[in-house]
Amino acid sequence: MKTLLRVFFHLLYHSFAFTYDLVAGIVSLGHWREWILEVVPFIHGTRTLEIGHGPGHLHRFLLRRGLVAVALDESAAMSRLARRRALAKDADQLAAPSHMQPSQHPGCTQINLTRGLAQALPFRDGAFETVLATFPAEYIADPQTLSEVRRCLSDGGRFVVLPAALPRNRLLAWLFRVTGQAPSDAVQVIQQKLQEPFIQAAFETKMHVLERTSGTLIIVVAEKKEKYVQKTS
């Protein structure tokens, strides 16, 4: 099953990248593009890097907020989609949820897209104040990924990850009843599985569970603490 899923996601992210929005919309019951914006309030500073930008919805949104937004993905197909979306004046805009403050910055037209792997980020040390990832694959908990993210973060910078969301629907509620579980059980399992790798990578980690009308979202905020400098007399 894991092998089949890997093949499916590889095809979805490469040969069939043009269907990504459709598939993600079906799986999330039409909410995934609003869910990815839930990471925005956790952004620290103005220099951001998005890992695994996919079709580029979040990158476009961050650019329009005037942030110095850089985005990286290993898929050439996704890079093409993201570039077209960022350049198109008539591209569909993502509206910020009502609980978010509107942007105080003018629109930004500079596009900063690059191809690469999260395990070998092509950026200088301390280049970013926030690194973002929404619905990433399993590479996100790879020790090499976490090491690279930590290297590229400035002191006090944040690694903000939206790893999972549980949509509210009757089918999911029925499955939880049949298995004798509750949504809180699934959230706890996800939290426990994700928190340990971040702690091992020397991040100060907090798990946020957001309850929205469309579903329950889990957001990891991992902070790189400032380096301790020993005082000398």
Taking the C-alpha atoms of residue 161 and residue 131, their distance in angstroms, rounded to an integer, is 8
Choose the most confident range, by mean pLDDT, from 60-64, 108-112, 116-120: 116-120
pTM score:
0.80
pLDDT in tens, 214-225: 888 999 999 998
Least confident residue range of 3-17, 181-195, 208-222? 3-17
Question: Token pair of 177, please?
Answer: 């009843």
pLDDT in tens, 116-126: 999 999 999 99
Taking the C-alpha atoms of residue 130 and residue 159, their distance in angstroms, rounded to an integer, is 6
* pLDDT higher than 50, residue 52: yes
Structural domains in the chain, sorted by start: 2-97+104-223 (3.40.50.150)
**pLDDT at residue 3, rounded to an integer:** 63
CA distances from 229 to 50, 91, 151, 232 (A): 30, 48, 18, 9
Instruction: Give the helix, strand, coil percentages of the chain, each rounded to 5.
Output: 40, 25, 35
The band of 177, judged by pLDDT with boundaries at 50, 70 and 90, is very low
